[in-house]
A = this chain, B = another copy of it.
Amino acid sequence: MSDKKTPIPEVPEAAHSNLDSMLSRKFGKEVANYFAGSPLNRVSFLRPDTSFLSQALRHDTSKFILFNELNPLVKAPTELAYVSYKDVQPVVGNPYQKPEAEIIDDYNSATYHPQLVFLGLNQTNGPAAADFKYKEHYHGQPFWALDVTPKESVTTACKKLIADVEGKGLYFAQGRMQLSLHATEAAMYAEGRHLLDWNARNPFCGACGHKTLSINGGFKRTCPPKDLAARMHDPGAPATQRPDCATRTGVSNLCFPRTDPTVIMAVVSADGTRVLLGRQRRWPKYWYSTLAGFLEPAESVEEAVRREVWEESGIHLGRVVIHSTQPWPYPANLMIGAIGQATPDGEAIHLGHDAELEDAKWFELDEIREALRIGTSGLGEDPGPEYQEGGLRLPPRTAIANQLMRAVVEGFVGAEAKI
């Protein structure tokens, strides 16, 4: 897709610091990429149950990650800050006081509700994990994401909350380069950011053009059949019936969060001695990465990899193998990492099809190995002290691109089976 931006790894190198421990052998040879590895049990089937949500929301152990314009509240670049229900109560109240069906029935498009997302229960969080219980099977510390951007009816309450937390030395990290969260927190942040962004991007129904309502703890948007907005000016006004909407007559994917599958691939030469990397014009000098692009409708992952590689570089691939996947919350990607092998007569580079890359080049494995050692950094960061001007620069370990290159130089091609 020529004008759809492909994601690039704008996350600092330091953020990887505790990812190695997550890459423990718990699940065998699985590669857990940054932004995966959440400690939360999402108990997704409990989301329509407002009795559950209401109890979890108001529980003493409940923790809230605050977002202002999608920037999270932090103590430091590596550490999220959390607040309690009593802190957010003036902003959010308790939106779960009625069953969901009644909430939909009482829909009023003129009312603003700050977006709240139930992230899940942390069952691994020491004593706090045992405190909140629901029914026979469910316990854990409830975690939430809340949009406190000062707006509409909650402008004053949000400003006060923001002043309070900033008074304690906490701050909203501006943009992703101010963030290098430890891996566990990065995963919770990614879930909150992805959901808040999806809700904010989709205030209207794609099927009928009317405003929609967030339900299911922030994981669904529904198009209510009627609207009480007329009552804002006339308390006795009847509800307005809205036109029929296709999303109401069955299950519609439009009602659920969108995640865009994206392929990203380390391309090796037919003889396995070189790796193809490309660069975009806006990247720093000497900075290259693996090729990437969006998977299209009616493609398998392998087909998307072959198409993107040919479109961007002219190279023809034979075998393609999936390596690992990475959730990427900017705004809503699932990065599917693969390793592909060029055919012997398909290695010639041609940049004239799609205009996405400024350059694409074959690199020897040794050069990649050395750059992985001394030349990695986030975009906008400097590489390490051993790096020398003119040497190859590569994305940080938090990027799946880095993991793919690492897999190649460490012998993924020809490695033993993973299961």
Contacts and interface: CB of A to CB of B under 8 A. Distances in A.
A101 interface: no
A261 B261 contact: yes
A198 B297 contact: yes
Interface in A305-346: 307, 311, 318-322, 324-327, 329, 331-332, 334, 336, 339, 341
Interface stretch (A85-93, A274-282, A352-360): A352-360
Interface string A259-289: 1110000000000000000000000000000
A175 interface: no
Interface stretch (A70-78, A147-155, A201-209, A224-232): A201-209
Interface in A35-52: 35-38, 41-45, 47-48
A interface, size bucket: 35 or more
Contacts of A208: 204
Contacts of A4: 251, 253, 255-256
A33 interface: yes
A319 B30 contact: yes
Contact of A45 (B47, B303, B311): B311
A42 B413 CA distance: 29
Contact of A44 (B203, B307, B339): B307
A35 B195 CA distance: 31
A344 to B, nearest CB: 14
A258 interface: yes
Contacts of A191: 297-298
A27 B204 contact: no
Contacts of A209: 203-205, 209-211
As for how many copies of this chain the complex holds, the number is 2
Contacts of A42: 296, 307
Contact of A332 (B253, B329, B414): B253
A294 interface: yes
A416 interface: yes
A21 interface: no
A295 interface: yes
Given A204-B206, A204-B209, A27 B302 contact: yes
A1 interface: yes
A251 B137 CA distance: 44
Contacts of A301: 325, 334, 336
A201 B38 CA distance: 33
Contact of A320 (B27, B43, B211): B27
A301 B326 CA distance: 8
A257 interface: yes
A295 B252 contact: no
Given A252-B201, A332-B253, A297 B194 contact: yes
A219 interface: yes
Nearest to A312: B45
A300 B419 CA distance: 18
A168 interface: no
Contacts of A207: 201-204
A53 interface: no
Nearest to A221: B206
Nearest to A119: B298
Given A256-B4, A257-B296, A201 B194 contact: no
A44 B322 contact: no
A403 B133 CA distance: 40
Contacts of A198: 297
6 A-B pairs with the lowest CB-CB distances in the bound complex, closest first: A204-B209, A194-B297, A36-B300, A191-B298, A45-B354, A190-B298
14 contacts: A3-B48, A4-B253, A36-B299, A38-B299, A43-B353, A45-B354, A137-B353, A203-B207, A219-B296, A257-B296, A297-B332, A298-B329, A413-B419, A414-B417
